[in-house]
Structure 1
Amino acid sequence: MRYIHTGGGRPRYFYSDISVLNSSQIQILHHIFRHVNIPANAKWKQNGVTIAGGNGDGNTVDKLSSPYGLFVDDDQTVVIADYRNHRIVQWKNGNTTNGQVVAGDKVKGSGLHQLNFPTDVLIDNETDSLIICDYVNRRVVRWSRRSGTTKGEILINNINCYGLSMDEQRYLYVSDDGKHEVRRYQLGEKNGTLVVGGNGQGDGLNQLNEPTYLFVDRQQTVYVSDGNNIRVMKWNTGAKEGIVVAGGQGEGSALTHLYRPLGLFVDALGTLYVADHGNDRVMRWPQGDTKQGAVIVGGNGYGAEANQFSNPWGLSFDRHGNLYVADTNNNRVQRFSIE
């Protein structure tokens, strides 16, 4: 079963700045990696605010059609993989009326000016570009963010790319849900290095079963949503097998369970945040506590109210600790403010 919406990291932050710790409790580390420091007892407002879409299913600039992965930049610009519209859209902070198409054409296709069901996107501010999982075209592409860009370039070909992340050395990590593995690439490299899985499809600790989204921390530890195994795995650098850090108990709605984990984020304390797609909620799993998580937003049934989700997919945080969730079947992105 693939998580493909026919009808979801891992947050990633990249920009040039010096190290600073401000009152928003956000620590900026190195040149291209932001570490979000969220207090262990943090709470979020339970009613989300729609900051993109929410005007029904459509392809005009005020609408989304099944938003999947998303990325929040330093200025709170949100970039969204608008899956069924075959495009990447950008929504500026403060403008919740209309987005801007920044990659893709009006129709799906395999041309360099087109995308075909994109699943994830990140911003690399070092090159002022977007890096995109162009899922059905089986490629990773890069689009310049400069004005006038009309096509992208292929970085990696022949890969069932689902999720992307980048570490502070600017290595790119890509999940392949066909080969059940994650590889690490230097930009410009075609083959990459196996870092997670690669031992066939299965539920062993050295295996994955259709991995989706991922997150990479400062130590190059890889966290990955192991789709059909209903778990989140943590693979330390150089490890031959992973550690189950959330789920792994089969599908269910108890706090010990997940039901199709998708978007991921890990904060400075090592706390894991998961978009629990099938349970219409976002969960938090403290580092070291693999037995039980806690619901931080959602979990109020499938629906379109401000405190509900309809199959959440991607998630991310901004530098203030506010949570952003791609609420896929409601065709919107919701922001939940930290209290």
Structure 2
Amino acid sequence: MRTLRRIMNHTSGSGRSTLALGLPLASIGLAVVLATGCGSDSTKPDPVDPEPEETYGVIETWMGTGINGLGADGPIETVNLSNPQDLTFGPDGNAYVLDWNNHRVRKVVDGVSETIIGTGQLGDAPEGQAIESSLNHPTHVAFDPADGNLVLSAWHNSKVMKMNLATGEFNRVCGDGRRSFGGDDGPAIDAILDLPVCSVFDHDGNLWITDVANQCVRMIDTAGVITTVVGTHEAGYSGDGGPATEAQIFMPIGQQAPPVGRACFDEDGNYYLADSYNHVVRMVDRAGIIHTVAGTGQRGATGDGGPATEARLYRPSDVAIGPHGDLFIADTWNSLIRKVDKETGIITTIAGQPNTTPGYGGDGGHPSEALLFQPFGIEFDREGNLYIADTNNNRIRVIRRFS
């Protein structure tokens, strides 16, 4: 997940909303006022209604037959997908699905799928018309707030591309197809990437790219200049409490490695990264300081009901911010979707069954009783429904929000 999303947040007395996530209270600007019981009732502030809990309904299959293959576009319940990686909702409210192993991006309008990028054949993502450009495993879509056009992370192409939605023109933003590193502090168009899995825009219109095999996150500013903003370019797990540019992250590097490491921004402009092979989620605040907000660094499927920083994850691949500001995590190798409460930092599983063999099941029932199979992507629509790229089930599933 994860284009910039506008959400309603509960604010502290400072006027800034924050996600507690187990960080010290002093570090997130929360104030605690203790009532002494002295004075008359007229001096007491009016009670504030608590923000409603996020409550979700049944889980359903939204798109895909479950058959791994390439099929025609049409009604989404009849479409075959091949290891869908993710989906994003555009400014038009429509869904854009990353049909990963079919090398396509598919747009869903009124329940009908239409391929808008890719021929279905493997290729090197040439410029031209997007529908005629053959891709190599696309992994993420975002939308440029400046012009509303689509930005694609073409993972195995080691390119970031942009599609003009009005004309269909498909042009290169960054990366030239070589798997390497280069170009920092210069024009992004001349820079070299190595397996860019995700690109998300911040509040200022800068584009943050998870440059997976280079073990870093790079940013293209609005002037078109690229720099490294997270990571040292060496794999590891270090740096919490210090500048993100001095911290180490750990992502897979091989050509056959899984496409993990997606990211999102919250309403305050904090950046969340699925630091997948460290089995944690990291947060970079507006000051550029990095923190671990979920996971211990040890893989596992423990910790529900306790602080997220004491829970174990297993190769999380995506993050998203819910309607009330909570952090949602695609805990991929555990085949779970987990939630970290914004106010308390407590983690719970909302979909999937911990320590259970992955599979497919549970449609029409409670999400916590469903089976998932390595979900790589999650995203919310405008109504607060949670969509899951249930990757190895070759389906997109949805958990309907009813309060």
Q: TM-score range by the shorter chain?
A: 0.7 to 0.9
Counterpart position of 1:41:
53
Which sections of structure 1, spanning at least 5 residues, go unmatched? 1-8, 15-24, 28-34
Output the aligned Cα RMSD: 2.6
Matched, 1:244 2:244: no
Counterpart position of 2:238:
204
Q: Distance in 2 between matches of 1:180 and 1:129?
A: 28
Deviation at 1:55, TM superposition (A): 4.2
The answer to whether the Cα contact below 8 Å between 1:67 and 1:327 also exists between their aligned partners in 2 is yes
The answer to whether the Cα contact below 8 Å between 1:121 and 1:164 also exists between their aligned partners in 2 is yes
Q: Distance in 2 between matches of 1:196 and 1:271?
A: 23
- Equivalent positions of 1:292-331 (< 5 A) are 292-299=346-353, 301=356, 302-305=358-361, 306=363, 307-331=370-394
More strand by share: 1
Counterpart position of 1:164:
199
Matched, 1:106 2:120: yes
Counterpart position of 1:57:
68
Larger mean CA deviation between 262-271 and 252-261 belongs to 262-271
SS at match of 1:100: strand
Deviation at 1:127, TM superposition (A): 2.5
The answer to whether the Cα contact below 8 Å between 1:13 and 1:74 also exists between their aligned partners in 2 is no
Runs of 4 or more above 6 Å deviation = none
The answer to whether the Cα contact below 8 Å between 1:195 and 1:238 also exists between their aligned partners in 2 is no
Counterpart position of 2:211:
176
Q: Distance in 2 between matches of 1:153 and 1:65?
A: 25
Q: Distance in 2 between matches of 1:249 and 1:261?
A: 11
The answer to whether the Cα contact below 8 Å between 1:119 and 1:133 also exists between their aligned partners in 2 is yes
- Equivalent positions of 1:101-140 (< 5 A) are 101-110=115-124, 111-112=126-127, 113-124=133-144, 126-140=146-160
Deviation at 1:41, TM superposition (A): 2.1
Counterpart position of 1:261:
316
State, as a whole percentage, how many aligned pairs show the same letter.
Answer: 24
Q: Distance in 1 between matches of 2:145 and 2:301?
A: 39
Evaluate the alpha carbon distance shift between residue 12 and residue 80 of structure 1 in structure 2; reply closer, same or farther with a 3 A threshold: farther
- Equivalent positions of 1:227-242 (< 5 A) are 227-239=276-288, 241-242=289-290
More helix by share: 2
Q: Distance in 2 between matches of 1:229 and 1:173?
A: 20
The answer to whether the Cα contact below 8 Å between 2:84 and 2:394 also exists between their aligned partners in 1 is yes
Counterpart position of 1:272:
327
Deviation at 1:75, TM superposition (A): 5.2
Q: Distance in 2 between matches of 1:187 and 1:51?
A: 36
Counterpart position of 1:20:
none
1:115-173, Cα deviation, whole Å (9 max, x unpaired): 111111123364242111101110100112236x2x51000112121112112322111
SS at match of 1:84: helix
SS at match of 1:178: helix
Counterpart position of 1:146:
166
Counterpart position of 1:186:
221
Select the structure of larger CA radius of gyration: 2
Q: Distance in 2 between matches of 1:99 and 1:40?
A: 34
Q: Distance in 2 between matches of 1:254 and 1:137?
A: 36
SS at match of 1:312: coil
SS at match of 2:213: coil
Q: Distance in 1 between matches of 2:91 and 2:161?
A: 22
The answer to whether the Cα contact below 8 Å between 1:155 and 1:188 also exists between their aligned partners in 2 is no
Query: Out of 10, 22, 29, which is 2:2 matched to?
Result: 10
Aligned residue identity for 2:326:
T
Deviation at 1:83, TM superposition (A): 0.8
The answer to whether the Cα contact below 8 Å between 1:57 and 1:63 also exists between their aligned partners in 2 is yes
The answer to whether the Cα contact below 8 Å between 2:197 and 2:210 also exists between their aligned partners in 1 is yes
1:174-227, Cα deviation, whole Å (9 max, x unpaired): 1111121112213572x5132212252111121101171011234432110001
The answer to whether the Cα contact below 8 Å between 2:322 and 2:384 also exists between their aligned partners in 1 is no
Counterpart position of 1:220:
269
